[in-house]
Amino acid sequence: MHATTTSDLRTGDPGPAHRWTGRTRLPLTRRAGALFTGALIALLAGCGGEGDRTATRANGTDGGERTKAAAPPARPAVPPGLPGMPPVLDPEDIYAADRPGKLSPVVKDFPSRVYVPNTNSNTVSVIDPATYEVVETIPVGIQPQHVVPSWDLKTLWVNNNRGHTLTPIDPRTGKAGEPVEVHDPYNLYFTPNGKHAVVMASLDRELVFRDPHTMDRVKTTPVSCYGVNHADFSADGRYFIVSCEFSGELLKVDTERMEVVAQQKLPLDGAMPQDVKISPDGKTFYIADMMAHGMWVLDGEKFTEPKLLPTGEGAHGLYISRDSREMYIPNRGEGSVSVFDFRRNKLTKKWWLPDGGSPDMGGVSADGKVLWLSGRYDSEVYAIDTRTGKQLARIPVGGGPHGLAVYPQPGRYSLGHTGVFR
C-alpha cells in the first residue's frame, strides 16, 4: 500500500529574482568615456588594495554609501509551529532541555523513584534507585500498561488497559488518587502545547483526544488500522506519527485538526511496530519493530516508505541519551540493548544482559548514567550503566512489568508515554 498524504503545508519557493536584460546604445563620446573608465577599473583591480574596493563599488556589490547592495532573494516562510507550544530551545537539538540537572522547578523536590506497572499483578512497584530496592507496591486497576508523566509534570497516570481507568499518582508523596474512568487506555500522550491528552485506545481502534486534567472526552478519531499504541511528535508539534502494532501500519496525524492525514503499510509481512522516537535534529523518525528485529527509519515530512535498520531480535523501546548523541534500543527477544549513534548514523555497540532477560520499556535516569528497563517476561527490572553497558542490578517485581517510568527527569514538559520530555 502506498502512502497517501495531504498537500505540503509549507510555502513554495519564491519566484526568480529580477534580472536586467535591456541594452542601451550610448553616444560615441559617452561610449569612449565608459571604455576608459572600464579600463581604469580593470587596471586598479589588477593592483589589489584600494583598487579592489573601488571596482567592487563600481559594480554595485559593496554595501557602502555610494551604492546600495542588492536585496537578497526572499526565503521561503518557515511553517508555524503548533499554537501554544513552548518555543524550541535549540533547532539543532529538540532534547536540549533534557540535560542532566535541568529539573523543572515543578519537580525539583520530588523523590527519585522508578515506577513499574505490573500488567499481570495489577500493581505498580516503586523502586528507590539509590538502593535498587522496591520500597512500595501500589494496587491499581486491571492490566496496567504504562506509567505516564502528565504534560505539566505534576501527575503520573497509570494506564489500566483492561480496567478502563487511569490511576493518578502524586509523585511528591507517592500516593495514588481516585481512578478516572477512561475506556481502553493502552497508552497516553500529550500534545506539545498541553491542550489535549491523547489516549491510544488500541482495541477500540481510536485516538481519543481528552482534557489533560479531567480526562473528559473532547474528540474521538476512529482509525482503520489495528493496535494503535505508540507515537511521537514532529519538532514543531504540527503532526505526530503513530504505530499500529497488529496491522503493521503507520499513521500521520494532524495535531491541531485531530485527524489522520496519511497512512501506510510497512513493507514487511508480519511487521509489528512499537515505540516511536524522533531524532534530535527533528528530521527523522525511528520506529522499533519487534518482528522486523530492528527499527524503521522514516522521513516524517514526506511520509515515504521507511527503510529498516536491523538491531536485534524483538526490538521494542527507544530512549535518547542525556547528551542527545545516542539512542538505546532494547531487543526484548534476545536480552540485549543496541546503541545507535546519531552523528555517525550507525549502530556502534550492543550490550548483552549477563543472564539473559526480556528488556522492554523504560527510561534514562535524571543524570543520564543509568538505563532502566522492565523485564517483561521475567518479573524483574534491569539497571544498566550507560557508559559501559554493564548490568548494575536485577530487581524482582510483580508479574509482567511493562512501561516503567523513571521520575523525575529533566525537561520543561512531558509528551507522555514513559517520559518523553522537551
Please tell me the pTM assigned to this model.
0.82
- State whether residue 56 is helix, strand or coil: helix
Could you say which of 2.130.10.10, 1.20.1540.10, 3.30.56.10, 3.40.190.120 is the CATH number of the domain covering 96-407?
2.130.10.10
DSSP-derived 3-state class of residue 15: coil
Strands lying side by side in the sheet with 249-254: 228-233, 239-244, 249-254, 259-265
The span from the CA of 43 to the CA of 39, in Å, is: 6
Burial of 276 by CB count in 10 Å (0-12 exposed, 13-18 middle, 19+ buried)?
Answer: buried
The DSSP annotation for 246-266 comes to TTTEEEEEETTTTEEEEEEE-
d(CA 311, CA 294): 4
Burial of 72 (0-12, 13-18, 19+ CB in 10 A): exposed
**How many Å apart are CA 213 and CA 240, to the nearest integer?**
21
Q: CA triplet 394, 399, 402: central angle to 5 degrees?
A: 75
Asked whether the CA dihedral 135, 140, 143, 145 is positive or negative, the reply is: negative
Q: For residues 106 and 183, what is the distance between their CA atoms, to the nearest angstrom?
A: 29
Q: Say if CB 198 and CB 207 are below 8 A apart.
A: yes
| Closest alpha carbon to 361 in 408, 406, 321 | 406
Measured CA to CA in angstroms, residue 211 lies from 223, 239, 262 at distances of 20, 18, 25
**What is the full per-residue pLDDT of the chain (422 aa) written as tens digits?**
444 443 333 333 333 333 333 333 333 333 334 433 443 333 333 334 333 333 333 333 333 334 444 555 444 444 568 999 999 999 999 999 999 989 999 999 999 999 999 999 999 999 999 999 999 999 999 999 999 999 999 999 999 999 999 999 999 999 999 999 999 999 999 999 999 999 999 999 999 999 999 999 999 999 999 999 999 999 999 999 999 999 999 999 999 999 999 999 999 999 999 999 999 999 999 999 999 999 999 999 999 999 999 999 999 999 999 999 999 999 999 999 999 999 999 999 999 999 999 999 999 999 999 999 999 999 999 999 999 999 999 999 999 999 999 999 999 999 999 999 99
Give how far the C-alpha of residue 313 lies from the chain's centroid of Cα atoms, to the nearest Å. 23
Nearest CA to 266 out of 292, 284, 240 is that of 292
